[in-house]
Structure 1
């Protein structure tokens, strides 16, 4: 019998060589060592970085403190600079103003003689216009225009002839305006007011005439001549005729008949005469105040009342009464509202001549 076949041989198990294992262990050990060294280096670097960061943070804090101090210093310097700048700007502004004034002065000094004369004439005319507006009288403007014409006449300049012609036109217009001279009218009213106390009343004149002693008629013979006539042997008819004429003249002197135009003027009592004169003074004073305040309608009303009182209660045959009445009538005739014309032609001519056209 044949011998049985031998079983297949089992698969061979690889066996790691010991050298390879040792090499692997060495590699692992090297890697571990390298990792440890790397970790240690990393830790050292981290510590160094932390130390550097702390140092830099401290340096940064110090620099920040220094920066704050420097900022404060810079702020103080900025405030000082702003204050100095404001002072400088004020000085610059003052210098600019002074420079402008100096330039104006230089320009005024550099102007020609004619320009100075025209400027002076214009200023004088404007001042005269203000005075005329305040006083209501054309006299200041008339005087100023005359003086300006006389002043320009001394300069023989062709371009000033136009100004002189305009002055002549405005002077004629101002003179023909007929503006009331308030100052003169006030003086006349003052004279009339002062003379009121001396004006004779109609009632007082008639009383003085009635109380005056009657003079003996020239035709009547004195008592001493009666015996002479009787002794001379004159006829009785002539003697009775002379006695009758004497008696008739005495009777006529007892009764006096006259025409009275204003009966109320004769009824003024002596104690009422003072009130009558004071009322007339008040009328004239009111008219004076109305003239000074340019209220011509009120002044005319008061002047009419004053004239009516003078004509009614005072003696028209008295020279003082006639003088006072004439003063009041002159004031009434001249107290009229009139506008003083503006010298526009002269001002326009001066402006044209100053511009050199």
Structure 2
């Protein structure tokens, strides 16, 4: 039996038996041309159901032939599914690319916004740091100026202290070179100066005399014949002060004190009114009928007195005080006399006389002039007012310039550094 020609693309029986299904899929023959595939399809459609396909020889097809006929149809199917899958894969890739592009655009926009926010924050932080730096710079400059001022003040204080130390050292050096007699000269000069202050500022003549005598005793201890002229001037000043009239200030003050103690007993100036009870008794009508004319006259007189009253008083009219004002008058009068005492002790002649004059006016106005104690008080105040409190004091002490000159010659500037 002749062998039918095998399909050029069909595998041999031995090869089909040896290949596994997996290997057949992977090692499938390459697809035939599209024309062969369509031809094989038409041939398979022309064969009716249950009939075998006709062959060129008219014999019954062998299994090899069937395999050869069906093999192209099976091999032609994979390219159709692969094209569909390729198109779907292309669409998926395009969608994926678009999504990735959108994500990249969103990420780029977010990154740009984030960078802008970061730059804004950095600018704000930079401005805040700049402000803090300016404040710190201003504070440092202020502290620097304060430190410079303190350093300058300390430097000036140090210079002053250095100067004081130098002056003290110089004074100490000069003091070491002084003799005991020189110290006595300085003390005498100080005593004479104090005597002048007591004499002219306080008008205390007795204390000034005592100070000058003490200065003369200091010069006597020096035992220097060159000081004879100064001692002579001191004794001349002492004699001049002793020759001044001495006022008894204590006696004047005691006289004023005695007047103050009697103020509460002095009678005030009052108006003397007639006794109304006696007047009413004398004008009462009698009970006798015979005195009808007298009774009529008295009744008429009493009736007229109720309408018009005339009182006559001789002398000048003086202001009268209410009873509750008497205490204030007496206390003010005492205060004026005390002011006179204070001015007396301080040597203020004008204030002393003014206070006594005011007291005399008040006594003459508000107290009873015809009383003996009032006349005596006014006479005492007049004597006190005319008393001389201070004498004509000398304008200078003759010993003071002489003593100052010799102290300056012997002690130099040591007197200024005491």
TM-score, normalised via structure 2 length: 0.38
TM-score, normalised via structure 1 length: 0.43
- In our comparison, the structure showing a higher alpha carbon Rg is 2
Question: RCO greater where, 1 or 2, for CA within 8 Å and sep 6 or more?
Answer: 1
